[in-house]
């Protein structure tokens, strides 16, 4: 009996491999006349492109997290982070500014750092800050808004403010409780030295599949929005700054763009939306979007993940609105 199941399982694997091999070698990628509606193909193209774009960065994040696991000790983290929880926010913001990582890559890194004993609110600051506050995003935003550089500097400045406020809020509500999902609270204590590389590779693929299933689902939903959401509708919804900022935040949420690319999309709205609304889009998108929510749920407790989304949303909105009123 067991041999039969064993055999059938092996057979499934071999068949899959053969299928991939066949597709790789023989399927003509240039064929065009497939009886599939173009809209579905559009969804598929966007779906695949989100995945292909995200995979390298998730892999990099996974490897970085594996390196942290091996090389950064808990004591080191304790020593580097100031004891005072408020002062500790400053190095956290600096670290986010230095790390050139996007939102996909940062999640496994933060998960690892939190496990290593980094205070919760510090982790959250880096989680929301790193995707915006980095040189590549600065350059992209600068390039997309060449003629209106105030947007570029406001984006960077406001995100520093928002990050610190978010950190404070998280500290206020959650202190330093463990909000990681129970599945992940274990630690790999002792690994035999020769096994480290093997363990790293094992973990890289385990972690990829852990996050991958959420990524795939997020990408699928985002690509549906990308294809079917009529962007002209947004314009009709946005009657004033209060409304249009909210609309643009919602838009950023469902699009789930990479923070490196969202400035270009934002610049295509510069005719129809005020700078305040554009900033709401540029601030909120990298901090929180549909893909991120799903990824966050994969490693934070549900209650914390949803509170975090709420905190980020409220603070970004308030910061942007304050900016809008002051700059008027």
Partner 1 sequence: MKKVDQQFVIYIRGILLIGFSLLMFKLILTGKIIQFIAPKMMPFILFSSCTFFLLGIVQIWRSSISTDESCECGHDHVEKGKVRTTLIYSLFLLPIMTGFLFSNHTLDSSVAVKRGVKFSANVPSKQPDQQGNNKVKSINSEVEEYTNKVLAGDSEEVPKNVPLEHQGNISPPKIPPKGFYKLLEKKLLKQKSINVNNTDYIPVMSIIENNVDQFIGKEIEVDGFVYRENGFRDNQFVVARFGISCCVADASVYGMLSTIENASTFKTDNWVHIKGIVKKATYNQEDVPYIQIQQIESIHQPDNPYVYELYQDEQLIGPGE
- Binding residues among 133-152 for partner 1 as defined by CB under 8 A: 135-136, 139-140, 142-150
Residue 178 binds partner 1 (CB under 8 A):
no
Question: Which stretch in 163-171, 246-254, 260-268, 307-315 sits in contact with partner 1 by CB under 8 A?
Answer: 260-268
* Contact between residue 241 and residue 321 where contact means Cβ atoms under 8 Å apart: yes
The footprint of partner 1 on residues 289-328 (CB under 8 A) is: 327
Using CB under 8 A, pick the residue from 1, 3, 79, 271 that binds partner 1: 271
Residue 174: strand pairing partners: none
User: What is the C-alpha separation between 274 and 328, in angstroms, rounded?
Assistant: 11
Residue 250 C-beta: closest distance to partner 1, Å: 16
Using CB under 8 A, pick the residue from 264, 301, 306, 307 that binds partner 1: 264
Task: Quickly count: other Cβ atoms within 10 Å of residue 272's Cβ.
Answer: 14
Helix (H, G, I), strand (E, B) or coil at 300: strand
Residue 188 binds partner 1 (CB under 8 A):
yes
Structure tokens at 109: 């890194």
Residue 192 C-beta: closest distance to partner 1, Å: 9
Residue 237 binds partner 1 (CB under 8 A):
no
Residue 117 binds partner 1 (CB under 8 A):
no
Question: Which stretch in 110-118, 245-253, 269-277, 299-307 sits in contact with partner 1 by CB under 8 A?
Answer: 269-277
- Is the CB of 282 or the CB of 308 nearer to partner 1? 282
- Is the CB of 37 or the CB of 79 nearer to partner 1? 37
Question: Which stretch in 83-91, 161-169, 261-269, 311-319 sits in contact with partner 1 by CB under 8 A?
Answer: 261-269
Residue 296 C-beta: closest distance to partner 1, Å: 18
- Is the CB of 188 or the CB of 302 nearer to partner 1? 188
Using CB under 8 A, pick the residue from 260, 284, 298, 311 that binds partner 1: 260
Counting residues that bind partner 1 (by CB under 8 A) gives 92
Cα distances (angstroms) measured from residue 214 to each of 51, 152, 292, 298: 11, 31, 9, 7
Residue 300: strand pairing partners: 180
Residue 254 binds partner 1 (CB under 8 A):
no
Using CB under 8 A, pick the residue from 67, 73, 228, 302 that binds partner 1: 228
User: What is the C-alpha separation between 115 and 120, in angstroms, rounded?
Assistant: 10
Residue 87 binds partner 1 (CB under 8 A):
no
Q: Which residue has the tokens 């299933």?
A: 213
Residue 193 binds partner 1 (CB under 8 A):
no
Task: Quickly count: other Cβ atoms within 10 Å of residue 63's Cβ.
Answer: 18
Listed as own residue / partner, the contacts of 82-87 with beta carbons closer than 8 Å and 24 or more positions apart are 85/119, 85/121, 85/171, 85/176, 86/168, 86/171
User: What is the C-alpha separation between 321 and 97, in angstroms, rounded?
Assistant: 24
Residue 196 binds partner 1 (CB under 8 A):
no
Using CB under 8 A, pick the residue from 75, 86, 206, 325 that binds partner 1: 206
Structure tokens at 179: 């909000």
Residue 287 binds partner 1 (CB under 8 A):
no
User: What is the C-alpha separation between 98 and 90, in angstroms, rounded?
Assistant: 13
Cα distances (angstroms) measured from residue 49 to each of 30, 38, 44, 126: 18, 16, 8, 26
Task: Quickly count: other Cβ atoms within 10 Å of residue 90's Cβ.
Answer: 13
Using CB under 8 A, pick the residue from 162, 255, 305, 311 that binds partner 1: 255
Cα distances (angstroms) measured from residue 97 to each of 65, 89, 100, 135: 18, 13, 8, 8
Residue 230 binds partner 1 (CB under 8 A):
yes
Residue 46 binds partner 1 (CB under 8 A):
yes
């Amino acid at each position: 009996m067991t041999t039969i199941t064993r055999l059938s399982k092996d057979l499934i694997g071999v068949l899959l491999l053969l299928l991939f091999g066949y597709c790789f070698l023989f399927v003509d990628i240039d064929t065009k006349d497939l009886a599939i509606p173009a809209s579905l193909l559009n969804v598929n193209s966007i779906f695949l492109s989100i995945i292909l774009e995200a995979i390298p960065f998730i892999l990099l994040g996974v490897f970085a997290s594996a390196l942290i696991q091996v090389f950064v000790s808990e004591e080191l983290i304790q020593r580097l982070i100031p004891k005072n929880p408020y002062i500790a926010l400053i190095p956290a913001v600096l670290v986010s500014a230095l790390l050139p990582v996007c939102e996909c890559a940062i999640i496994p890194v933060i998960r690892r750092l939190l496990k290593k004993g980094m205070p919760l609110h510090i982790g959250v600051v880096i989680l929301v800050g790193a995707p915006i506050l980095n040189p590549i995003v600065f350059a992209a935003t600068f390039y997309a808004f060449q003629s209106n550089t105030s947007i570029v500097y406001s984006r960077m400045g406001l995100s520093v403010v928002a990050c610190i406020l978010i950190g404070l809020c998280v500290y206020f509500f959650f202190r330093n409780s463990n909000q990681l999902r129970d599945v992940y609270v274990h630690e790999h204590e002792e690994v035999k030295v020769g096994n480290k590389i093997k363990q790293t590779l094992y973990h890289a693929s385990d972690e990829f599949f852990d996050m991958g299933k959420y990524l795939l689902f997020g990408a699928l939903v985002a690509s549906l929005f990308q294809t079917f959401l009529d962007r002209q509708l947004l314009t009709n919804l946005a009657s004033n700054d209060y409304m249009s900022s909210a609309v643009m935040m919602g838009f950023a949420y469902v699009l789930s763009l990479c923070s490196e690319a969202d400035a270009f999309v934002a610049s295509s709205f510069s005719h129809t939306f005020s700078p305040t609304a554009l900033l709401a889009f540029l601030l909120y998108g990298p901090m929180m979007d549909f893909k991120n929510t799903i990824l966050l749920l994969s490693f934070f407790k549900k209650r914390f993940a949803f509170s975090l989304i709420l905190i980020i949303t409220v603070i970004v909105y308030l910061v942007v609105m304050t900016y809008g009123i002051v700059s008027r």
